Structure 1
Amino acid sequence: MKKTFLKKLLLVFSGLFTAGFGVYVYGCADGWWGYSYISSFTPEAFADESYQPLFYAPDEKFYDYAQLDYIDKYNEDIIGEWHGYLKNKLTRSEVAYFLLNDTAQTTIDKLYIALQSKKPASDAGLPITDQHVKNFITFLHFAKQIEAYSTNVFSSWNYEERVIEPTNENLVRKVEAYYQSLNNGDDFFRNRMWFQVLKAKFYSDDQASVIPFYEETIHKQPKNALYYRAIGYLGGTYYNLGQFDKSNQQFAILFQENAAKRHEALYNFKPLSPDSMQRQVQEAPDNNIKASLIAMNGYYTDEAVALKQIYELAPKSPHIDFLITRWVNRQEYTINDYDSQKQHPLPVEKTQIDYETLLWLGNMLQAPKKLSNPALVYLAYGYINFYIGEYEKAAQSYTNAYKRSKGKPLVRAQIRLLNLMNSIAQLRSVTPVDENKLLADLNWLYKEVPKDTSLISFRYEYASQWIKKTLARVYTETDNPLMAEVLNSEDGYYDDPAKGAAMENFLLKTNKSSWENLFAGLYPYHLSDIYESRAIYAYYQNRLDDALSLMQKANLKAANDYTDASIYYRDAELRGNPFNGRIKDCNDCDHVAPQSVKYTKRTFLQKVKELQTNVNQGTDVYHNALLLGNAFYNTSYFGNARVFYYNQIIDEYGNYIAPKNQPYLLGMDHAQKYYTLALHAATSDEQRAKVSYLLSKIERNNFYRTVYLQRDDYYWPGSDQVMFKEWTGFKALKDEYAHTDYYKEVIRECGYFRSYIQQSRF
């Protein structure tokens, strides 16, 4: 008969040959930032490794995507134990082969048959006359059969129903009978066979038989790894029988007594209501088990409530530590916001934190000797007080934490970071005295911490950004926009030529103070980025002399961290010819078209300057103005030379253009100006036809930018009014230049124009 398990499938503790009834898998999504992007409190500093999967993780089932491993987790230990038992009769690799390799089954069968017939198995190459080797072969004979039932394979997509083949009843009887027949003093072998009986029963149709067998035999077993796996089987049995009070008690024992099982015990724990939990706690045998029940339930419900209950029962319980870290990290996640830190200056209102629990922590610290980890409690208390502006309380708490930190590097680093944040939060200006006081800690944070291998898990990234943004706000409020920009670059700074020049002078300054050197080194942009951005903005503002001068300085050699010269700086090539004006906007077509001259950003500006000089001097105004119109059109979002505005500071690479850059990258004013000049200077209908059409593209782009894309309700399917506007250039082309060759080219290439002509006939 087959058993069908529905919904949640219990994960059990079977050891070497067990996969359990199911395994959850979490993939780390691309671009996952980790926890330090909005947290500065490192739980790894305060609780041992066994608690790590239980740390606060708002978006995952378990911290750091921790997974439960039942197949491979105990392999090395079991191999080592059997190798020691066999006293070098087999090599370690041979032991591993028999235990773990499926291809060993044929050899095991031959060896077992040889044992039963008392004939040597010469081809096996094993000393089967040795009693320990005989026991090993016998163990393998039973264990491999039971393994087949404990590692059922099922579809990972079938979340609702898993069909499990139960252990053969005859096999259960045989392995139990064999175990009961063992009367010698080989405790190691008896212990292993006992566990195989328990395992076989757990995967059988009569899973409930685990309970009496366990109760009758557990007192004879040593408290080793198999002992605790057996507790897991017992808990799993009660769970599957729906007796959650009893299953929770077993998992609480595991959680308390076996650190390696904490993650597994917590996963299988059944959270209950407050009344049910109270009853279970009352029934627990001692305060430590009571604390474990409360801690596990607190993980699923409310860690603050659990903290207070455990403290009353067992104030030195280590479970308090991981619950405090969860509480602190939860407070952080309700306050911090990576994308809008500048909008949340400290202090925050008390209503934004769990103020009641904060006061309770303060009461705990009236008797710090009662706690197992007072340094953690002091830090938690000080850190949350920091958020509400109680800076003196925070500082005193950090001092007390330091006295009790016992020299642990990660704890000391945590204290140093929180002290630094506390000092920064109180600044109202930055004086030379402040700089001298803070500089050592800031150098440590920005230069030493990222390279310190002892601080791998240290959460410092959010704090490092928060400090720079907080200092930037102070500089803004004290009228120092340059240092505010250095600390926290804001969009639009380089729109102002005077500010750009000031930054250039600052970065070139050779006598910077140590404070200035630190933050200049952290500034995300190099001089070439600045020169290039200023040159680009000067171009769009039609300040060609400034644009040329600045672009000349945008040399790749000045930007040591960048190696991609294809889209940055003065020698980056424009992919299409920016002086061509085509009927259809097809950037890809322009990019692959043969180009007799390849323009870079610098040579493009030189050519634009030359054309402007010609226009200003009245030299061949039509052709020079036409080429200038094409140049300004193609260096807009609509043209073939978008590479021209690619820049680290401007930061426009896609279809979305930020509002502040829309007048430059979507604006058509300069293109329209020069096309209009060309129209006035035209001497033939062919020339006038061409410019009229190019002006219609200007009118179309302006319409879409300023009207069509600004109104959600403007377009509806089938609206001819919207889809086929009568651009002024279209009308002129139709009414005045239908006889030109250019008109015929437009008819051939522009479907929009053809539709307009067809509609205008009716």
Structure 2
Amino acid sequence: MTSFRKLLPAFISVSLLGTAIYGYGCADGWWGYTYISSFTPEAFADDSYKPLFYAPEEKFYDYAQLEYIDKYNDDITADWKTYLGDQLCETEISFYLLNDSAQAAIDEKYQAMQRPQRWSAKNTADSRDAKLRNFFSFLHYAKRIEQSSTTTFSSWDYEDRIVNQTEKSVVDEVEAVYQAIPAKDDFYKNRMWFQVLKAKFYAADRAAVIPFFEATQGKQPKNQLYYRAIGYLAGAYYQLGDYEQSNSLFALLFNDVAKLRHEALYNFKPMSSDSLEHALKRSSRKDVQASMVAMNGYYTDAGEAMKKLYRIQPESPHIDFLLTRWVNAQEYIVNDYNSASKAATAWDSPELDRETISWLAGILKAPKKLHNPSLAYLAYGYTNMFIRAHDVANTAYRDAKKYANEKPLVQAQIRLLNLINEVAQVEKVDKTTENTLLPDLVWLYQTLPKDSVISQTFRYDYAANWIRESLAATYVKHENPIMAELLSSQKGFYDDKNLGDQMEHFLLKDDKSAWEKLFIAQYPYNLSDIYESRAIYAYYQNRIDEAIVLMEKAVPAKPNVDYGYDHIYYSAATLRGNPFNGRIKDCNDCDHAAPQKITYTKLDFLKKVKVLQTNVDAGTDVYTNALLLGNAYYNSTYYGNARVFYYNQIIEEYGNYISTKNQPYLLGMEQAEKYYNIALKNARTNEQRAKVAYLLAKVERNNFYRTAYLAKDAYYWAEADQTMFKAWKGFQALKSQYADTQYYQDVIGECGYFQKYVNQENSKSRY
């Protein structure tokens, strides 16, 4: 029925008002847990514990929510179907119980039952008729109680805080109905017993739940309703401020009913050490005491909770979920998602919980006492790896395998942690190392991603990246830059001509080993990506002939396939503006929107640059050719209209931030300034000189912003306010030497910056 669908949990939140709902922060950019973890808790605890796994950024693991609305629907329908037999079909029962629109039909049926002569005309007055009467009587009272049990309000509505309580008359009436039910009808009596508890809980005197439960619970079956009723009982104690008793009851639920574990823990109130000791005395059951310690450990210190729990009940399964939380927390200390290679430098961190690591060593002297010895061995081995005790880790992993079940996730976890430990000990990659690691690396990089079952849960991505970076660092140490790049690509690798040549030779050779083939397959770039990046770097380094040859090789492996940013197809990518135009205003969008009399691909652009350079070297119309070259180098930087030229999967500079490695190329003005100065020296008229003076002012401005701001880690606006306006040398020359030119007037009309400079200078001259 609706009251079950919208029911407050049998366990009450801290506010005791409305449904127990918790909020989450924005999940934008959520990467999942595997981005910083290699230890999969799902391998070691069942789904009832899943919301309780370590999740430092969320209320509960995997954004799990308390599912009250539909949680009991199937069970409720099935129970009533068994009770009613063929009186009603399952669809009808479900409609009356769960559909909000059933109210009118329920009222009609209930009213008809109040007129026995009309009811009996359609139904024989036997036990079957009585069961049907009971069903609609139950619905009648449950609906009235629901009016208070489903009261909610918006957390943003500060005016509507009215809580509808069950009226005392309703409480008394439903209790009277319960008391009048014959003992022989256990099912109906049990259902109405639960409704009495529920009515009392949502009435003004919530504490009345306690004596009623104590007086009647002995006659009730230990079924689902019984344990949900214990939740109401715990809530009543909670409101009275008796948190030790309420926590004891929540611990009972946590231990006995896996389905209610999440709710029990959510409503559990964390306790101090003294309060916990007092609360433990409320229960004589060791397993419930263990549950209470485990729940408190969820909110406090998992390591300390495990130790206390072990003293109470070493075989408790609750140790398992605490141990996974503790391991994941240790990972969180040392793993670095920004750079796996840097993460190893955090090993031996003083923040690691060495005391608990030592405790694990102690309890593993008697592993059979534990619920899951394999998990304990893995946790011990993994954390010993973090303190560089690799031999201890090796032994622990071997022992873990002895006790492990055949669950694929468990077997995968053991294999992965052992592989991490092996790689952590590699000092040099030789043939022996390759032969030892290759089978596991093939499994990690090729087999696992294809396993649609394991890969959905298993945390191996961070380890895969860490292993690549760790081996790459070893290759760097032993001066093997090619293998280092294959395993962990570095920004700007291909700006080195020699390294580019070596990589090309390596990739094209025929006699590759299985080890080399594995990491070539992992390398995220193809030969066309490489050729294109090398061509771009060669251009910026003014090696145009080489740039052309390389760019000619940069062609799509498959035609008509999008290989990059915004439909860019390597050498055939079209520049969106004319890169040889030098405008007064830098306006990419304007240049892109302007009609293009001629368009250039990346390859066309390079070939045109080559022609212009040849003309300059030959002394042919030097001013014009040098000016066009200056424009080309200007526009092919971040400031110009031909950024598409440097768009490349390897260079990977598509936005407003340019990495430090690529700033000399994409923010650098060296080549543009060189050719503008050549043009200036060869200018024949003041109009020509005026134009070059202004273009050199733009170069000076860009150089200033690069060194003053863009090359720094932070941009300080206070500092910028002091230096944002400067009198560039080109401005000075334009005003003092070329004020009588038409170009001067064009600049005044388009460039507010220059206009401001002129006005300031004119103002000075007046005074």
- 1:471 equivalenced with 2:468 (yes/no): no
The equivalent residue for 2:557 is 557
> Secondary structure in 1 aligned to 2:162?
strand
C-alpha separation in 2, matches of 1:193 and 1:105: 19
> Secondary structure in 2 aligned to 1:381?
helix
Residues 521-555 of structure 1 deviation map (CA, whole Å, 9 limit, x = unaligned) = 00111111111111111111111001111111111
CA contact (8 A) 1:20 1:70 kept: no
Cα gap change, 1:682 to 1:23, in 2 (>3 Å) = same
C-alpha separation in 1, matches of 2:602 and 2:124: 78
- 1:542 equivalenced with 2:505 (yes/no): no
The equivalent residue for 1:230 is 229
The equivalent residue for 1:605 is 606
Cα gap change, 1:127 to 1:162, in 2 (>3 Å) = farther
- 1:153 equivalenced with 2:148 (yes/no): no
The equivalent residue for 2:687 is 686
- 1:486 equivalenced with 2:466 (yes/no): no
C-alpha separation in 1, matches of 2:757 and 2:340: 52
Residues 392-434 of structure 1 deviation map (CA, whole Å, 9 limit, x = unaligned) = 2211111111111121111111001111111111111112122
C-alpha separation in 2, matches of 1:738 and 1:563: 47
Q: How does 1:372-391 map to 2 (within 5 A)?
A: 372-391=371-390
Cα gap change, 1:123 to 1:588, in 2 (>3 Å) = farther
The equivalent residue for 2:665 is 664
The equivalent residue for 2:744 is 743
CA contact (8 A) 1:679 1:691 kept: yes
Instruction: State the Cα distance separating 1:492 from its structure 2 match.
Output: 2.6
Residues 420-459 of structure 1 deviation map (CA, whole Å, 9 limit, x = unaligned) = 1111111111121221221111111111112213312111
Larger mean Cα displacement after TM superposition, 183-192 or 238-247: 183-192
The equivalent residue for 2:696 is 695
Instruction: State the Cα distance separating 1:716 from its structure 2 match.
Output: 6.3
Cα gap change, 1:125 to 1:634, in 2 (>3 Å) = farther
Q: How does 1:242-641 map to 2 (within 5 A)?
A: 242-345=241-344, 348-349=347-348, 351-455=350-454, 456-557=456-557, 562=563, 566-641=567-642
C-alpha separation in 2, matches of 1:126 and 1:723: 95
Larger mean Cα displacement after TM superposition, 118-127 or 661-670: 118-127
Cα gap change, 1:713 to 1:312, in 2 (>3 Å) = closer
CA contact (8 A) 1:202 1:237 kept: yes
CA contact (8 A) 1:527 1:558 kept: no
Q: Aligned letter for 2:610? A: K
Cα gap change, 1:713 to 1:415, in 2 (>3 Å) = closer
CA contact (8 A) 1:346 1:388 kept: no
CA contact (8 A) 1:526 1:558 kept: no
The equivalent residue for 1:66 is 64
C-alpha separation in 1, matches of 2:425 and 2:705: 49
Q: How does 1:78-227 map to 2 (within 5 A)?
A: 78-120=76-118, 130-157=129-156, 162-227=161-226
The equivalent residue for 1:56 is 54
**Superposition RMSD on alpha carbons, in Å?**
2.5
The equivalent residue for 2:21 is 23
The equivalent residue for 1:6 is none
Instruction: State the Cα distance separating 1:675 from its structure 2 match.
Output: 1.3
Q: Aligned letter for 2:532? A: E
Residues 235-285 of structure 1 deviation map (CA, whole Å, 9 limit, x = unaligned) = 011111111111011101101111111111111111111111112113322
The equivalent residue for 1:4 is none
Cα gap change, 1:759 to 1:347, in 2 (>3 Å) = closer
CA contact (8 A) 1:25 1:67 kept: no
Instruction: State the Cα distance separating 1:316 from its structure 2 match.
Output: 0.7
Instruction: State the Cα distance separating 1:300 from its structure 2 match.
Output: 1.0
Instruction: State the Cα distance separating 1:120 from its structure 2 match.
Output: 4.2
Larger mean Cα displacement after TM superposition, 143-152 or 343-352: 343-352
Structure 2 unpaired stretches of 5+: 1-6
C-alpha separation in 2, matches of 1:166 and 1:347: 56
The equivalent residue for 1:41 is 39
Instruction: State the Cα distance separating 1:124 from its structure 2 match.
Output: 11
C-alpha separation in 1, matches of 2:51 and 2:759: 69
C-alpha separation in 1, matches of 2:282 and 2:108: 52
Instruction: State the Cα distance separating 1:192 from its structure 2 match.
Output: 0.7
CA contact (8 A) 1:528 1:558 kept: no
Instruction: State the Cα distance separating 1:132 from its structure 2 match.
Output: 2.0
C-alpha separation in 2, matches of 1:659 and 1:346: 24
Larger mean Cα displacement after TM superposition, 513-522 or 347-356: 347-356
CA contact (8 A) 1:629 1:674 kept: yes
> Secondary structure in 1 aligned to 2:691?
helix
C-alpha separation in 2, matches of 1:535 and 1:123: 94
Instruction: State the Cα distance separating 1:562 from its structure 2 match.
Output: 3.0
* TM-score, normalised relative to structure 1: 0.94
The equivalent residue for 1:5 is none
Residues 297-340 of structure 1 deviation map (CA, whole Å, 9 limit, x = unaligned) = 11111111111111112111111111111111111111111113
Identity %: 58
CA contact (8 A) 2:254 2:261 kept: yes
C-alpha separation in 2, matches of 1:335 and 1:743: 61
Q: Aligned letter for 1:622? A: Y
> Secondary structure in 1 aligned to 2:106?
helix
Cα gap change, 1:12 to 1:26, in 2 (>3 Å) = farther
> Secondary structure in 1 aligned to 2:753?
helix
CA contact (8 A) 2:334 2:346 kept: no
> Secondary structure in 2 aligned to 1:36?
helix
C-alpha separation in 2, matches of 1:561 and 1:393: 50
CA contact (8 A) 1:532 1:550 kept: yes
Larger mean Cα displacement after TM superposition, 553-562 or 297-306: 553-562
> Secondary structure in 2 aligned to 1:375?
helix
Instruction: State the Cα distance separating 1:732 from its structure 2 match.
Output: 2.3
CA contact (8 A) 1:41 1:414 kept: yes
Q: Aligned letter for 1:483? A: M
Larger mean Cα displacement after TM superposition, 654-663 or 560-569: 560-569
CA contact (8 A) 1:251 1:265 kept: yes
Q: Aligned letter for 1:680? A: K
The equivalent residue for 2:3 is none
C-alpha separation in 2, matches of 1:159 and 1:489: 54
Q: How does 1:683-762 map to 2 (within 5 A)?
A: 683-707=684-708, 722-761=723-762, 762=764
C-alpha separation in 2, matches of 1:416 and 1:490: 29
Larger mean Cα displacement after TM superposition, 734-743 or 215-224: 734-743
C-alpha separation in 1, matches of 2:253 and 2:286: 14
Cα gap change, 1:378 to 1:253, in 2 (>3 Å) = same
Instruction: State the Cα distance separating 1:157 from its structure 2 match.
Output: 2.2
CA contact (8 A) 1:255 1:266 kept: yes
C-alpha separation in 2, matches of 1:603 and 1:126: 95
Cα gap change, 1:99 to 1:115, in 2 (>3 Å) = same
C-alpha separation in 1, matches of 2:247 and 2:726: 73
C-alpha separation in 2, matches of 1:732 and 1:44: 72
C-alpha separation in 2, matches of 1:466 and 1:87: 61
Instruction: State the Cα distance separating 1:13 from its structure 2 match.
Output: 4.0
C-alpha separation in 2, matches of 1:283 and 1:158: 40
Instruction: State the Cα distance separating 1:561 from its structure 2 match.
Output: 8.3
C-alpha separation in 1, matches of 2:230 and 2:70: 19
Instruction: State the Cα distance separating 1:704 from its structure 2 match.
Output: 2.2
C-alpha separation in 2, matches of 1:274 and 1:158: 38
CA contact (8 A) 2:231 2:249 kept: yes
> Secondary structure in 2 aligned to 1:393?
helix
Q: Aligned letter for 1:730? A: F
Residues 641-684 of structure 1 deviation map (CA, whole Å, 9 limit, x = unaligned) = 11111112112122211122111111111111111222222222
